[in-house]
Amino acid sequence: MRNMLVFCLVVLSTYIFLSDRQPAAMTDNAALQKATFAGGCFWCMEKPFEELEGVSTVVSGYAGGTTENPNYDNYMRGGHIEVVEIVFDPEQVTYQELLEVYWRQVDPTDPGGQFVDRGHAYSTAIFYHNDEQQRLAMASKEALSGSGVFDKPIVTPILPATKFYRAEDYHQDYYKKSSIKYKYYRSRSGRDTFLNKVWKEQKEKKMSSNDLQKRLTPLQYRVTQEDGTEPAFRNEYWNNKRSGIYVDVVSGEPLFSSTDKFDSKTGWPSFTKPLVNENINEIEDYSFFMKRIEVRSAEADSHLGHVFNDGPQPTGLRYCINSASLRFIPVEEIEEEGYSQFLGLFSN
């Protein structure tokens, strides 16, 4: 009887021990989220997302069809399209940032495939996994439609996620395992030729110097176009405590958020990180006989300020930015200004 009691206590203790551990693992996994994008050949869609900090895995596969367990030989007949499934940590990279990367990989105006690959199997699509992803995807698509980047309608559908089927192993990280074949295919697919042309033209649309001088104040022009610096503590936003986002005063591209703003005691607006990483370029600056990292906007190429390694956690960075290079949009005006994809930052 005593042995039986000891045995029961051991079993109960083991159960409690394992039970105590299980929620922790589930909580860790629960912090990760999935995103599913279709952009034509899945070989070309892995690398851009795998390079992002906060992305755990990018897997090529098939989705959207009616058949089970499709493979490379039959997925088209089942109505599936090639997709990548991305597992990411939203604390490190947001779904909005994934969308920004996605749009720069595809031709969203083509309903018949992507570049050299034709047919439904190579069409574009965004598969959302929850209501928030659906909202952000639709807002992002709407913003792209109104941006003038493309002169045709955006036809990429936004669909509820369906069951994902992993593609064969030889398709995974094809750009790494078969780099020569991948480069040969990509160089002849027409993808890079198209994308480079589209996004280069956007940069070339930057206004002439005369036009900018008419639009901007003398200080805004000096800071953004001539790499100037405004006076500390005597600028518009250094002590601004309102909730909202900061966009480029020239182009309107979103740059920073009040959720990442802090008082650096320097007299200039300071942020721990950009709102959209892809909208910021960091360049080595050797002016004034010192080495610094200059911060410029990606689209307008406006001089914004500099970034330093003396900021607070979690990034340890201080983006020290000139108010004259920014335009502040308060949270109550974000939607009407066309930046509704960022409203989720202020929902709590």
User: What are the tokens at 70?
Assistant: 């499709």
Locate the DSSP E strands across the chain. 33-39, 55-63, 81-88, 113-114, 117-118, 124-128, 158-160, 165-166, 244-248, 254-257, 261-262, 270-271, 280-285, 292-297, 303-308, 318-321, 326-330
CA separation for the pair 211, 311 (Å, rounded): 36
DSSP character for 187? H
Half-sphere exposure (Cβ direction) of 61: Cα atoms closer than 13 Å:
19
Amino acid at 187: S
CA separation for the pair 260, 270 (Å, rounded): 8
CA separation for the pair 17, 224 (Å, rounded): 60
Residue 8 bears catalytic tag: no
Residue 165 DSSP SS3: strand
Residue 41 bears catalytic tag: yes
CA separation for the pair 260, 187 (Å, rounded): 40
Task: Pick the catalytic residue from 86, 99, 154, 320.
Answer: 320
User: What are the tokens at 210?
Assistant: 């005369």
Residues contacting residue 278 through CB under 8 Å, at least 6 positions apart:
97, 100, 101, 104, 298
Residue 221 DSSP SS3: helix
Task: Pick the catalytic residue from 41, 154, 275, 321.
Answer: 41
CA separation for the pair 77, 100 (Å, rounded): 31
Active-site positions?
41, 320
